A and B are shown apart, each in its own frame.
Chain A
Amino acid sequence: MAEVGYLALVLGLFISLYGIAAFVIGVAKKNPAFLASGKGASLAVAVLSSVSTFILLYFLMSGDYSINYVYEYTSKDLPVFYRFAAWWAGNAGSLLLWLFLLTWYTVIVAFSRKTKQLTPYASSILLFNSAFFFFVLAFLVNPFERVPGWTPGAVVPDGAGMNPMLQNPGMVFHPLTTYLGYVGFAVPFAYGMTALLTKTADDDWIKVTRRWTIMAWVFLSLGNLWGAQWAYTELGWGGYWGWDPVENASFIPWLTGSAFLHSVMVQERKDMLKVWNVALIAITYVLTLFGTFLVRSGVLTSVHAFSGGPLGRYFLAFTVFMLFASLFLIVDRRKLLSQARSFESFLSKESSFLLNNLVLVGLAFAVFWGTIYPLISEAIRGVKVTVGAPFFNTVSAPLGLALFLLMGVCPLIAWRKATLKNLVQNFQWPAVGAVAVAALLFFLGIRKFYALAGFAIGFFTIATILMEIFRGTRVRRRLTGESYPVAFIRLMVRNRRRHGGYIIHLGLVLMLIGITGSQAYSLDATKTIKVGDSLSIGQYSISFNNLAEKKLTTDKDAVYADMTVFKNGAYMAQIEPQKVFYSTAPDQPESVVGLYSTPKEDLYVVLASWDQEGNATFKAFVNPLMIWLWIGGYILVFGTIFALWPGRGSQAGSKYVRSERLTQEAV
């Protein structure tokens, strides 16, 4: 059966190439038979990638350890849930997941009835991507390869098992959502390039791909959020974001994707920024490829990376090719994308979007620059340096705060032209409130600049959004006579696109509050104590009641500390920090954090080590406002679904183009 899985990959490569040829001939000769054949090829390719996928899943579930991939990532004792998740736990499997998603996305595009003229081109571009992944899987990282030394008929009794750190729900969903995000950006990219190839300068491609873009963006958001949650609860270092190159690799396209989501609104409303939008989506997709390259190349040191090998070179070549092909198209079609001068004021929503894009792309560049700087340093000075949290925190903090400030300002500025009077009317009370918040916090003893600025800007942005919603509700109530609750709900639902955006911004501000609190005022303590003693940190006292061992499953044993949490002398909770030992990886125990979480702060206790006398060393952290990071993240997801749900209220507003231009166009 392994041979069938492999053959499907090889066939998939050839049929992808055939599909591209069929679409090209179909378009060139205007031959419907070839176009239909191209569609059929798209479907065949998806079926073939599914055949390979299901065969690999069968091997993973049935435990055929003669397959090297199954041997490396599973074992007899691994629960079914993680056996399934082993699909994307390793290099070959995760690339197969990428291919599986890409081929079915291609089918949806190829059979789409909305954009018949654009479909063959977009499908060809997606098939070209599929061909690359089929090639990689067939010739570089074959997921059906047998274990070394295997002979037909031989049975391999057990596998090496999955890395214990990956046996966590967060690590199951984090890669899956990240890939859904990465691959999702392929579709708007393909349509963007199609618009250039077909010389159609209108915004049809943006309208068609809006849902794709937002879905990709929200999946990437979830991927980053769940990755952070996994790091927080699993790695036991008290933090959630380490600025590792691989983490950065999924954050950078999220930033450029966010910039794209905002700048396309200017094209939708004003027919402007066409070059910028095509360039942004091209960069975003290329960055997803770059991220995949980083994980697999071994060029940068990362705790998340798969082992190196020749794959990195091929990925780099493909990434560079896609980058230059896109750039060539953009430069070649620049006249097509030229725009009229049609900003009516320096102070308008469209100009504020330029600022928003400047900050988002600036932040993306700063993170990208820091990520690749070790390579630059090595190339120029011959010295490989590390670029970690101190660098990224320094460069991203001012840009991040600027971004959150714009988040409060931009949505309330009018399209076309805003006046100073509008600004004062919209922002005076939130600004006064923000200054008051900063003064109050200063008075309460908060002296760190970024903390004061973060909380003040957070307040400002929340206040502007809530005031805007309140104003809308009040106007609606006055016009319709509805009660406040009914007016509020109908206001929100009738323009879900706009209000979904506000909800997303609210979620992001809550995340900012969580990040600011936990970064600026985290406490930590490390202490070795014996049973009966206590560990003190901040207002907490944690008494160490007992250290014991228990069997969790047949392959897992835990050493745990029974602890009682007191705050200012009052009982709060029982916690049980653990170290879990897997029989397949006894030297790699998994940390289970003892967590007591409240809206004000998290108490986070890690059992670091112990000795035969019953002494144990604990690392404890108090992370203020931590829970708001997660709550904000889920509000962001809710806001996205709210905005995206089909039906009335999810459409874009009307265009704001100058009347004389419309007249010219009509003539």
Chain B
Amino acid sequence: MKKALPVLALALLLLLLPSRAWAAEDWQNKPIPLDVESGVICVLDGCNMVLSSCDDAAAQKMRGIIREKMYKDGMNKQQVYAYLSSVYGESVLAAPPKKGFDWVAWITPFVAAVGGAVLVYLGLEKWVIPGRAKEGEENGPAPIDSVYAEKLDEELKRYL
């Protein structure tokens, strides 16, 4: 059995070789998932559009790089993004990475919204007249005198 192992390994390698060679040709035509393209900026010619929106020669070149990294080198989306950032700088990514200082970009809008909500609450605390709402709830709306109710009906009819 031990002697058979190298033979099996060689056979497996021989089986894999053509498929690798075939794969090496095929990856050039494979489509890139939209979510990968829409996270990258077309920076090669300075058009600076999101790659998924750009069809010029520079965009095709960038797609070629992404295909190579994804399908030839077997990188996943995050690894492709890390590779592109290391080559072209962080501005190649369509959004700041969620790490280090760039967390500020992501959390500030939500912090501001929460801060705003606190301000609104404090404003209401200050402006709402204490006791008035409670009093209204307990007593309910004042009953309308029947004379006024009739008058209201008449006026409504006239207005409508």
Contact = CB atoms under 8 A, between A and B. Distances in A.
A479 B159 CA distance: 11
A339 B89 CA distance: 52
Nearest to A350: B127
A387 B95 contact: yes
Interface in A507-535: 522, 524-526, 528
A390 B39 contact: yes
Contact of B41 (A237, A341, A388): A388
A394 B106 CA distance: 9
Interface stretch (B5-13, B17-25, B42-50): B42-50
B120 A358 contact: yes
Nearest to B113: A362
Interface string A277-288: 000000000000
Interface stretch (A100-108, A145-153, A376-384, A452-460): A376-384
A419 interface: yes
A391 B124 contact: no
Main secondary structure of the interface of A (DSSP, over half): mixed
Contact of A341 (B93, B128, B137): B128
A494 B110 contact: no
A115 B35 CA distance: 56
A657 interface: no
A339 B123 CA distance: 12
A272 interface: yes
A351 interface: yes
Given A344-B136, A345-B128, A362 B156 contact: no
A524 B124 CA distance: 49
Interface stretch (B52-60, B68-76, B142-150): B52-60
Interface in B116-160: 116-117, 120, 123-124, 126-129, 132-133, 136-137, 153, 156-157, 159-160
B55 A236 contact: yes
Nearest to B114: A362
B26 interface: no
Contacts of B52: 237
A525 B132 contact: no
A593 interface: no
Interface string A124-136: 0000000000000
B105 interface: yes
A438 B136 CA distance: 37
Given A341-B127, A358-B116, A385-B90, A390 B38 contact: yes
Interface stretch (A65-73, A81-89, A366-374): A366-374
Contact of B89 (A351, A383, A394, A476): A383
B50 A524 contact: no
B94 A388 contact: yes
A354 B123 contact: yes
Contacts of A239: 53
A390 B105 CA distance: 12
Contact of A391 (B41, B47, B96, B126): B96
Contacts of A376: 104
A608 interface: yes
A470 interface: no
Nearest to A368: B109
A343 B124 contact: yes
A480 B31 contact: no
Nearest to B96: A385
B89 A391 contact: no
B128 A344 contact: yes
Interface string B79-119: 00000000001111111100001101110111011001100
Given A344-B128, A377-B101, A388 B50 contact: yes
A389 B112 contact: no
B34 interface: yes
A389 B105 contact: no
A236 B49 CA distance: 13
B124 A366 contact: no
A399 B112 CA distance: 12
B17 to A, nearest CB: 28
A346 to B, nearest CB: 6
B28 to A, nearest CB: 12
A303 interface: yes
A381 B101 contact: yes
A361 interface: yes
A386 B41 contact: yes
Contacts of A27: none
Q: Which 8 A-B pairs have the closest CB atoms?
A: A237-B53, A366-B109, A388-B94, A390-B95, A345-B133, A391-B95, A343-B127, A362-B113
20 contacts: A237-B50, A242-B49, A303-B48, A342-B129, A343-B124, A343-B127, A358-B113, A362-B109, A365-B112, A369-B105, A381-B101, A386-B96, A389-B38, A389-B94, A395-B106, A399-B109, A417-B133, A419-B137, A480-B160, A490-B160
Given A355-B120, A362-B109, A366-B113, 12 more contacts: A237-B49, A343-B128, A345-B132, A358-B117, A366-B112, A377-B102, A381-B101, A388-B50, A388-B94, A391-B105, A399-B113, A490-B160
